[in-house]
Amino acid sequence: MLLIRPIRAEDYPELYQIAVESGHGFTSLPVNEELLQRKINRSENSFAKTIQSPGDEGYLFVLQDAETGRVLGTSAIEAAVGLDDAFYHYHLGKVVHSSRALGVYKAVDILTLCNDYTGVSELCTLFVREDSRKNNAGKLLSKIRFLFMAEFRQRFAERVIAEMRGVSDDAGNSPFWQWLQDSFFSVDFPTADYLTGIGQKVFIAELMPKYPIYVSLLSKEAQAVIGKVHDKTRPALAMLQSEGFSNTGYVDIFDAGPTVEAKVEHIRSVRNSRRVQVQIGEVQGGQPWMISNTQLQDFRATWLYLQLREDDTVVTLPAAAAELLQVQNGDWVRLARI
């Protein structure tokens, strides 16, 4: 069975290996021992805090094979971005150049540097190791965050975003960043991406063009990838779109990948999730459900086939699943259809 739980200090070796495997463009897991250790410590502290409103918390989960103990992937939620470090995006908008006297009217696309998402929650750090991308692993690891947000609603903002990895090649070269590098920087994309991942963002404010950029002035290659996602990110984007996320014109400042957003209350798995009580017994067949306990520090989640009707207030769990979730008869769980 698959298990999702909060990360622990002893997971560091596998987290480091996952950071290596995630490759270029995966900013939230840079290959840096000190930073990864800090991420684990920060997550443990976040799960332990008693709070009433979102702040500088980061919740990092791991996906684990319950039988072998191997960590198969990661996902995370940032409670409120941009409170300590500026959180940059480009917004794709338009300006109109017109002259009534000459009969000229032309709408032009522009990119404007902004911090519009300051204070919103963010879904991030979703990665499943290549040999484990099966058995609903990716869906579970992504969607289970919505059960956690529904259960601990006060810990998150009203809106949540997800930055999608933009187009880059196997060597980490981004057509969008290449134009910025040629025009404004002398730093290659992997280096800029890594510096951002380890929190050294001051160069953005110092070197990034402050005025709107006319898209028509970019190279054809750079223009072609604005708002486009990396091939490996397409499934993640499709899943979020199915949950109600949409793009409103914001793109990443490095690779121009789209940022999608939704109100938490409108996310399908949040809206359709519900609490029921546990009854331990035999289960024959059914439909696939993701299910979590309602604990914070000892949060546990998995997916399994259950027989459950829309108006049921009790769910029957096999003994093995109940043990995995650390629940007993009468305990509460939260669940939603995968």
At residue 52, the pLDDT reads 87
Percent of the chain, pLDDT > 70?
94
Percent of the chain residues topping a pLDDT of 90: 70
Instruction: Flag whether pLDDT at 24 surpasses 70.
Output: no
- Measure the CA–CA gap between 27 and 121, rounded to whole angstroms: 17
The one catalytic residue in 24, 89, 97, 230 is 230
pLDDT at 267 over 80: yes
Assessment of whether the complete model's pTM goes beyond 0.85: yes
Is there a catalytic annotation at residue 230?
A: yes
Distance CA 306, CA 287 (A): 5
Supply 330's token pair: 């009468």
User: In a 10 Å sphere around its CB, with 0-12 CB exposed, 13-18 middle and 19+ buried, how is residue 66 labelled?
Assistant: middle
pLDDT at 196: 67
Strands 274-280 and 314-317: parallel
At 46, list the tokens.
């976040």
Decide if pLDDT at 25 tops 60. no
Q: Where are the domains of the chain?
A: 2-89+114-269, 273-337
We find that the CATH architecture of domain 2-89+114-269 is: 3-Layer(aba) Sandwich (3.40)
Opening angle at CA 44, ends 41 and 50, nearest 5: 130
Contact 208/181 with Cβ under 8 angstroms?
no
The model's confidence at residue 22, banded by pLDDT at 50, 70 and 90, is confident
- Distances in Å between the alpha carbon of 49 and those of 33, 57, 147, 324? 25, 9, 19, 24
> Please, which residues bridge with residue 75 across strands?
61
Fold match between domain 2-89+114-269 and domain 273-337: no
CA distance 246 to 80: 19
The dihedral built from the CA positions of residue 298, 145, 270 and 81, taken in this order, carries a sign that is positive
- HSE of 1, CA atoms in CB hemisphere, 13 A: 18
Distance CA 237, CA 313 (A): 33
Q: Is the pLDDT of residue 219 over 70?
A: yes
Fold of the 273-337 domain: Barwin-like endoglucanases (2.40.40)
Which residues 6+ apart lie within 8 Å of 247 measured at CB? 227, 258, 259, 260, 261
Q: Using the 8-state DSSP alphabet, how is residue 132 labeled?
A: G
Q: What is the rounded radius of gyration, in angstroms, for the C-alpha atoms of the chain?
A: 22
pLDDT tens per residue across span 156-193: 999 999 999 899 887 778 899 888 888 877 777 667 76
Q: Is 37 left (phi over 0), alpha (psi -120 to 50) or beta?
A: alpha
**What is the rounded distance in angstroms from the CA atom of residue 163 to the CA atom of residue 250?**
9
Other beta carbons within 10 Å of 111: 22
Distance, CA of 117 to CA of 158 (rounded, Å): 12
